[in-house]
Chain A
């Protein structure tokens, strides 16, 4: 019998192959997450990168172009092999055909913004240097070759003139400034007058509503109201006239241009927001345009049924709602968990409560939305209106969806997460530490307040992070309790009392839904969907990162002994 070496055993440790299975499980999960983030990142950011504009010369006799013109052009956004194979005259299949999707812009001319074209129709391609892509107030971007500027003084500046670019840039800047001025007049100043008029209307209603003989003081006040209203009306007229005047100035200078297919158009320079020459850009200037467009997307308000412009109100609304939700959910959940873990006598009843709380986390969110509408909006909000805002009824103040009710609804939805996490971290504080505190003569509450709670703060914050992540991404319940497609005002502004908890608000999650499913131009909305999704993820990551930083700070402060 051969003597076996003691080290070279032929017995393999059992279960080694499971290591591979477990690592594969993690690998698949990681791949999916990386792929998801990568896809959204790419599609969301690619929107802002300026693409070159190609001019396509079509095959003679082709009718694939626009308005039967032999040339047309745009930004190539997609290139694909045609799904349906064309057949030759004898019925045999032809070799696969490539087709391109072009963003042709000029929706005012064509009635659409995107067009497919077969490669077979294209005779030649070029990138003319003088093409301009211009962002306009209406009808999306325009893609054109400039001809001349017709200025207010009657002079004409041809596009070939060396000063053309400077003058055009100056006019666009001037137009933007004037538009901001009009906005200030219409929203801030005229809005202020409207608020005063509304206040007077309510006060007048209050006086008239008292009934009976009017006291002389009341009569005097009514008369005062008359004069104030007259003054306000006069002020309004003045402001409106000024706005009209500015608006007229917006269209005194005009740019004359030709679309890629040769049709000539004119446009007031006041309608231009921004422009660039896509075929003359270096990589650096492209990067600058990318940053500028991304910033505008972050900071601007939406235009044209949300398919153009920025999404600032949605970012802000999501942010405010999530913060309000956190403020509401944390004390509520922590207190409930403290009672459940520290004070309640552990028994069948507490076990049942715990199971119920855990199950609450699994209730579909729309159920909470319906509850929020029925309870917060109609019952609580309706009562508040009856008690404090009865003068403005039947127009509801709190008796309709708003950021407060949305936050409370989400707080209710996420409170189980906070309770469970808090309970876990409370029970993780060792018995020895608690006994040490009690042995020092501390009461149970002092022990909880001074020792147990600080030590479990990191765990509580973990629960809050999970709650925020769930709350910020929720859409369905919000549609019932206060999210709207377009909110004219933010829930937080410079007008007293600054926090307008009753206001409706915009939300990134709902914005994505609205763009994707309710947009009149689905092609134009598609890039916005990705960009908005990217921002929603970015916002949730930022909020969580903030909470994680706080948690790490606390962990360092209260790190527990490992010994």
Chain B
């Protein structure tokens, strides 16, 4: 069986990003298309016919109270939910026009194009260096010069390089909580994915570490399409371009972030963002 891969977009490299992002004309406003997507854990329907388009190279935030299905949706974007027994979905998700559920798509190839950062930082029991180059190693890329270059680029991209450059070969577990999470971001961007999924990346971090990661998200958006799940209203307001509000597995409202927070169309959204329920 031959495997199809997602068509690669021609993207600017990191060095070109600063110049290119200013007036990039050809950004796809519907880079990820979620089409009438429903999702079941066994008999329980947790997502109810969601439809939304996520634009390229912007930050899209998913907000909503616990159990509203925002993490489930996020984990479907790179098919991480495949690991769970007894799942089922209806509808479709397209990335750059191609269904991620296409039987010809190799899920491993998909995940190489869609990086993910988890709620709880999960560095591997390896050195800092090996953590960063993991995605290259599993792809069979072992050239020392390439790996060295990737480590430096990724750690700089995750604003961690200056802090760890002298101890790259020490265990990743010697890092602080905030550093570990940035290491996981560096790991997620090492293989230059197109999309970066972040599942409450700051929920376990102190305010200073959170500020650093948020700053980083601003930088990363110049190169990646970012989808972030957050419980922190201020954070969504600070970092995202667009915000989707979910409630009980339904998409209540999806708009530009400023509209959601300052002028929500829906009463439930207004109640949630103003802290009256949730």
| Chain A residues proximal to chain B, CB less than 8 Å | 430, 432-433, 435-443, 446, 450-451, 454-455, 557-561, 563
B177 in the interface, Cβ–Cβ < 8 Å?
yes
Residues of B within 8 A of A561 (CB): 121-123, 173, 180
Contact partner, A435, options B118, B125, B134, B177, Cβ 8 Å: B118
Query: Which residues of B are in contact with A by a Cβ distance under 8 Å?
Result: 78, 80, 83, 108-109, 111-112, 115-116, 118, 120-126, 134-135, 137-139, 171, 173, 177, 180, 184, 187-188, 191, 204
Are A436 and B184 interface neighbours, CB within 8 A? yes
Specify the chain B residue showing the minimal Cβ separation from A457: B125
A441 with B112, Cβ < 8 A, contacts A435-B83, A451-B124, A560-B125 known: yes
Contacting pair B125 A439 (CB below 8 A): no
Contacts of B126 in A (CB 8 A): 454
* Minimal beta-carbon separation of B55 from chain A (angstroms): 22
Q: In the complex, what residues of B have CB within 8 A of residue A439's CB?
A: 78, 80, 111, 115-116, 118, 188
Is B122 within 8 A of A430, CB to CB? yes
Which of A430, A433, A455 is packed against the most chain B CB atoms within 10 Å?
A: A433
A436 closest partner in B (C-beta): B122
Contact of B111 among A441, A558, A560, A563 (CB under 8 A): A441
Task: Kindly provide the distance from the CB of B32 to the nearest chain A CB, expressed in whole angstroms.
Answer: 16
Report the minimum CB–CB distance from A50 to chain B (whole Å). Answer: 54
Residue of B115, B123, B138 touching A446 (CB-CB under 8 A): B138
- In the complex, chain B residues whose CB is within 8 Å of the CB of A559: 125, 171, 173
Name the residue of chain A whose CB is nearest to the CB of B184. A436
A437 with B177: CB separation less than 8 A? no
Chain A interface, >50% SS class:
helix
Closest to A450 in B: B138
Q: Is the CB of B122 within 8 A of A432?
A: yes
> A42 CA to B58 CA in the complex, in Å?
77
Once the chains are docked, how many angstroms separate the CA of A368 from the CA of B1?
A: 47
Question: Within 8 Å CB of B138, what residues of A?
Answer: 437, 440-443, 446, 450
Bound: A437/B135 CA distance, A: 8
CB distance from A452 to the nearest CB of B (A): 10
Q: Which residues on the A side are within 8 Å of B123 (C-beta)? A: 436, 561
Asked if residues A563 and B180 are in contact (CB atoms below 8 Å), the reply is: yes
Is A440 a contact of B191 with CB atoms below 8 Å? yes
B124 CB contact (under 8 Å) in A433, A443, A557 = A433
By beta carbon, the residue of chain A nearest B176 is: A563
Enumerate chain A residues within 8 angstroms of B180, measured Cβ to Cβ.
561, 563
Also in contact, A455 and B125, with CB within 8 A (given A438-B80, A441-B111): yes
Q: Given the complex, which residues of B lie within 8 Å of A443, measured CB to CB?
A: 108, 138
- Closest Cβ–Cβ distance, residue A435 to chain B (whole Å): 6
Q: A436-B184, A559-B173, A560-B173 are in contact. Are A441 and B135 (CB under 8 A)?
A: yes
User: If A435-B80, A440-B135, A442-B138 touch, does A451 touch B125 (CB 8 Å cutoff)?
Assistant: yes
Is the pair B173, A441 in contact by a Cβ cutoff of 8 Å? no
Q: Chain A contacts of B177 at CB under 8 A?
A: 563
CA distance A450 to B135 in the complex (A): 11
Shortest C-beta distance, A179 to chain B (Å), equals 57
Q: How many contacts A-B (CB < 8 Å)? A: 81
For residue A561, which residue of chain B has the nearest CB? B173
Are B184 and A441 closer than 8 Å at their CB atoms? no
Assess A454 versus B125: contact at CB under 8 Å? Given A432-B120, A441-B112: yes
What's the Cα separation between A440 and B193 when bound, in Å?
Answer: 10
Tell me whether A440 and B173 are in contact (CB under 8 A).
no
Starting from the known contacts A440-B187, A455-B125, 4 additional A-B residue pairs (CB-CB under 8 Å) come to: A433-B124, A438-B83, A440-B191, A441-B138
In the complex, which of the residues B109, B120, B134, B171 contacts A440, with contact meaning CB atoms closer than 8 Å? B134
B184 contacts across to A, CB distance below 8 A: 436
Please, how many angstroms separate the alpha-carbon atoms of A560 and B125 in the complex?
6
Nearest 9 A/B pairs, CB to CB: A441-B112, A440-B135, A439-B116, A558-B125, A436-B122, A432-B122, A442-B138, A441-B111, A446-B138
Q: How far does the Cβ of A169 sit from chain B's closest Cβ, in whole Å? A: 60
- Cβ–Cβ < 8 Å partners of B108 in chain A: 441-443
Cβ contact within 8 Å between A442 and B78: no
CA distance A439 to B188 in the complex (A): 8
Give A441 to B188 CA distance when docked, in angstroms: 10
27 pairs of residues in contact across A and B, judged by CB atoms under 8 Å: A432-B118, A433-B124, A435-B80, A436-B184, A438-B83, A439-B78, A439-B115, A439-B116, A439-B118, A440-B112, A440-B135, A440-B188, A441-B112, A441-B191, A446-B138, A451-B124, A454-B125, A454-B126, A557-B125, A557-B171, A561-B121, A561-B122, A561-B123, A561-B173, A561-B180, A563-B121, A563-B204
In the docked arrangement, what's the CA distance between A451 and B130, Å? 11
A209 CB to nearest chain B CB (Å): 55
Interface core residue of A433, A436, A557 (most chain B CB under 10 Å): A436
* Bound CA–CA A560/B123 (angstroms): 9
Pick the most buried of A441, A442, A559: most chain B CB atoms within 10 A of its CB: A441
Question: Cβ of A563: which chain B residues have Cβ within 8 Å of it?
Answer: 121, 177, 180, 204
In the docked arrangement, what's the CA distance between A558 and B171, Å? 8
Contacts of B116 in A (CB 8 A): 435, 439
> For residue B78, which residue of chain A has the nearest CB?
A439
Supposing A442-B134, A443-B138 touch, asked if A436 and B118 sit within 8 A by C-beta, the answer is: yes
Query: Could you tell me the distance in whole angstroms from the C-beta of A425 to the nearest C-beta in chain B?
Result: 13
Q: In whole angstroms, what is the CA distance A558 to B124 when docked? A: 9
How far is B109's CA from A559's CA once the two chains are assembled, in angstroms? 30
Task: Kindly provide the distance from the CB of B177 to the nearest chain A CB, expressed in whole angstroms.
Answer: 6
Q: Which residue of A lies closest to B135 (CB)?
A: A440
Q: Which residue of A lies closest to B134 (CB)?
A: A440
How far apart are B138's CB and chain A's nearest CB, in angstroms? 4
Note all chain B residues with C-beta closer than 8 A to A557.
Answer: 125, 171
Q: How far is the CB of B239 from chain A (nearest CB, A)?
A: 21
Q: How far is the CA of A455 from the CA of B173 in the complex (A)?
A: 13
Taking the closest CB of chain B, its distance from the CB of A142, in whole angstroms, is 64
- Write the nearest CB–CB distance from A66 to chain B, whole angstroms: 72
B111 — which chain A residues lie within 8 A by C-beta? 438-441
| Distance between Cα atoms of A455 and B138 in the complex (Å) | 17
Residues of A within 8 A of B204 (CB): 563
